[in-house]
């Protein structure tokens, strides 16, 4: 009887394993839920079975370990009238410095975090609910959005969706600041339906217009940087959205209607599955996970646990079949190898390397974010990957040599040993295999 139950559950997609993880299984789990693992991490997980390893990874929310930038609670003064040319230049210089510090802060957190899955999912939502520093212009608001994405990265998608509709950076990025009664701006409403929930083909242009009306008056107080609903700018007229009519439909109502649609669960589930399992999955697999996701009230941690427990995730045919993003590549290098993080005083080399490789965090190319997948590799970016990794490896080994004392006093055997280690590391990190996860 017990065997029948186990076989039945296995048929539904649940994966069972009592023995400890094999080397490839531990590496697969750690790379898909985080970054390139260190030998120490691999050893720890190879002592666990699948269920234990998944529970260890899904540890719940943890606070960032990196100190926030000094200006983390300061919004930039917007008064520019009467400023001299020199004062304007200083203001622009300050903003550029804060943008660099913002990017450096997140890279430091990605490298040092004890909760890689949380940062991986924060990066995922950063590419789903996109906002760009070029458009928003205020680093403080992008930092607040990043903290919001992290807080709900494995929480409730429902809560996250409601919160992002009131996020100041998002409001500015998608022009909802100018969305007013009698003169609606449809940018946020369009992306809410097309990218954030339903996907193309599951709504009409009329639905976009009605949703835009519901979000009129959702603005940012430019002095405080906080969300405010200005009722005098809100359209209180009767609205009809996705077949639902109401005299007082506001933004929150639009989101609840979207969450009631199975297509929202499908769209989000399909995107998350592509992050963890494969770029291509049968519709029936997506449907199964989407049904559970909606039934569990959009609980992201439960969805991820279900995905990691599935036979599709543990299929060896999905091992090392996905391409690491530039951020994953760089972060993995520092997390898994003896390359001293102390060599990065302001993280400018890391920020520049990621940008040249095609992923400039806090500055996605379009509202659709980075396409990712096979798009990460082009003739240009592949060369940039090799050159950047080479520089980091060389610099890291130089730092290691210096930490061991005067190189001139180092014995021949020690020198030979370090040269061999450097060649081996360089060969491994510049291999095509290292580009995969």
Q: How confident is the model at residue 16 (pLDDT cuts 50, 70, 90)?
A: low
* Helix, coil or strand: residue 248: coil
Residues 297 and 338 in one domain: no
Ramachandran angles phi, psi of 319, nearest 5°: -75, 130
Task: Tell me the mean pLDDT in the region 89-111.
Answer: 94
**Residue showing tokens 């997506």:** 286
Q: Is residue 275, in this structure, part of any structural domain at all?
A: yes
Residues 362 and 430 in one domain: yes
Tell me the pLDDT of the chain averaged across its residues: 91
The partner residues of 228 in beta bridges, in order of sequence, read 219
- Residue 394 pLDDT > 60: yes
Residues 339 and 429 in one domain: yes
pLDDT value at residue 80: 67
Residues 430 and 330 in one domain: yes
Q: Answer yes or no: pTM beyond 0.75.
A: yes
Report the number of distinct structural domains present in the chain: 2
pLDDT value at residue 346: 72
Q: Is residue 232, in this structure, part of any structural domain at all?
A: no
Q: What digits encode the pLDDT tens for the residues 155-178? A: 999 999 999 999 999 999 999 999
Residues 331 and 310 in one domain: no
Q: What digits encode the pLDDT tens for the residues 69-92? A: 999 988 876 666 778 888 889 989
**Residue showing tokens 């993003």:** 325
Task: Tell me the mean pLDDT in the region 204-225.
Answer: 97
Last residue of a domain, one of 290, 318, 346: 318
- Residue 339 pLDDT > 70: no
Residues 21 and 42 in one domain: yes
pLDDT value at residue 337: 80
Residues 379 and 291 in one domain: no
Task: Tell me the mean pLDDT in the region 103-112.
Answer: 95
Q: In terms of C-beta distances under 8 Å and separation of at least 24 residues, what long-range contacts does 248-252 make, across chains too? A: 249/210, 249/214, 250/214, 250/215, 251/165, 251/166, 251/214, 251/215, 251/218, 252/162, 252/165
- Residue 6 pLDDT > 80: no
Q: Is residue 424, in this structure, part of any structural domain at all?
A: yes
Give 261: exposed, middle or buried? Use CB within 10 Å, 0-12, 13-18, 19+: middle
Query: Which residue range(s) make up the domain with 334?
Result: 326-435
How far is CA 435 from each of CA 42, 198, 285, 381, rounded to the nearest angstrom? 18, 32, 27, 12
Q: Is residue 374, in this structure, part of any structural domain at all?
A: yes
Q: Across the chain, how many H-helices and E-strands are there?
A: 20, 4
Last residue of a domain, one of 289, 318, 347: 318
pLDDT value at residue 12: 45
Task: Tell me the mean pLDDT in the region 253-270.
Answer: 98
Q: Which residue has the higher pLDDT, 211 or 399?
A: 211
How far the first Cα of the chain sits from its last, in Å, is 39
User: What whole-number distance in Å separates Cα of residue 137 and Cα of residue 221?
Assistant: 15
- Residue 134 pLDDT > 70: yes
Q: Is residue 403, in this structure, part of any structural domain at all?
A: yes
Residues 308 and 337 in one domain: no
Residues 430 and 332 in one domain: yes
Ranges assigned E (strand) in 189-234: 218-221, 226-229
Q: Is the dihedral of CA 408, 410, 413, 419 positive or negative?
A: negative
Residues 415 and 340 in one domain: yes
Residues 336 and 428 in one domain: yes
Q: Is residue 283, in this structure, part of any structural domain at all?
A: yes
Q: Which residue has the higher pLDDT, 428 or 241?
A: 241
Residues 330 and 421 in one domain: yes
Q: Is the dihedral of CA 109, 111, 112, 113 positive or negative?
A: positive
Q: In terms of C-beta distances under 8 Å and separation of at least 24 residues, what long-range contacts does 246-249 make, across chains too? A: 249/210, 249/214
Q: Is residue 172, in this structure, part of any structural domain at all?
A: no
Q: How confident is the model at residue 9 (pLDDT cuts 50, 70, 90)?
A: very low
Q: Which residue has the higher pLDDT, 82 or 145?
A: 145
Last residue of a domain, one of 250, 285, 318: 318
Which helix (H) or strand (E) segment holds residue 394: the answer is helix 379-403
Q: Is residue 84, in this structure, part of any structural domain at all?
A: no
- Residue 138 pLDDT > 50: yes
């Amino acid at each position: 009887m017990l065997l029948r139950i186990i076989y039945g559950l296995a048929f539904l997609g649940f994966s069972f394993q009592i023995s400890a993880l094999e080397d490839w299984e531990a590496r697969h789990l750690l790379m898909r839920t985080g970054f390139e693992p260190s030998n120490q991490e691999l050893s720890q997980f190879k002592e666990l079975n699948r269920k234990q390893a998944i529970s260890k990874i899904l540890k719940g929310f943890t606070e960032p370990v990196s100190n926030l930038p000094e200006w983390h609670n300061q919004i930039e003064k917007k008064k520019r009238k009467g400023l001299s040319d020199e004062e304007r230049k200083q203001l622009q210089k300050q903003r550029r410095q804060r943008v660099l510090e913002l990017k450096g802060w997140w890279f430091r957190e990605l490298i040092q975090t004890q909760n890689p899955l949380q940062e991986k999912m924060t990066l995922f939502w950063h590419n789903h609910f996109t906002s760009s520093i070029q458009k928003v212009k205020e680093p403080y608001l992008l930092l607040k959005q990043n903290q919001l994405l992290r807080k709900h990265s494995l929480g409730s998608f429902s809560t996250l969706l409601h919160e992002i509709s009131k996020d100041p950076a998002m409001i500015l990025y998608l022009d909802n600041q100018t969305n007013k009664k009698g003169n609606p701006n449809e940018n946020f409403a369009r992306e809410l339906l097309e990218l954030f929930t339903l996907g193309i083909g599951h709504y009409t242009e009329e639905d976009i217009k009605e949703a835009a009306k519901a979000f009129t008056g959702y603005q940012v107080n430019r002095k405080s940087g906080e969300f405010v609903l200005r009722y005098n700018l809100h359209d209180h007229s009767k609205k009809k959205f996705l077949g639902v009519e109401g005299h007082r439909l506001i933004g929150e109502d639009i989101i609840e209607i979207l969450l009631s649609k199975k297509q929202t669960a499908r769209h989000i589930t399909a995107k998350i599955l592509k992050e963890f399992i494969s770029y291509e999955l049968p519709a029936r697999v997506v449907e199964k996970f989407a049904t559970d996701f909606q039934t569990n009230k959009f609980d992201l941690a439960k969805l991820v646990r279900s995905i990691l427990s599935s036979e599709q995730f543990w299929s060896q045919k999905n091992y090392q079949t996905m391409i690491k993003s530039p951020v994953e590549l760089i972060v993995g290098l520092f997390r898994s190898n003896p390359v001293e993080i102390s060599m990065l005083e302001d993280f400018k080399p890391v920020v520049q390397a990621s940008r040249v490789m095609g992923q400039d965090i806090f500055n996605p190319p379009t509202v659709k974010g980075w396409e990712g997948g096979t798009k990460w590799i082009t003739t240009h970016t592949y060369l940039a990957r090799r050159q950047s990794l080479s520089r980091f490896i060389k610099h890291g080994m130089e730092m290691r040599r210096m930490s061991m004392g005067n190189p001139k006093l180092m014995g021949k055997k020690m020198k030979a040993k370090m040269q061999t280690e450097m060649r081996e590391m360089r060969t491994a990190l510049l291999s095509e295999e290292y580009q995969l996860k």
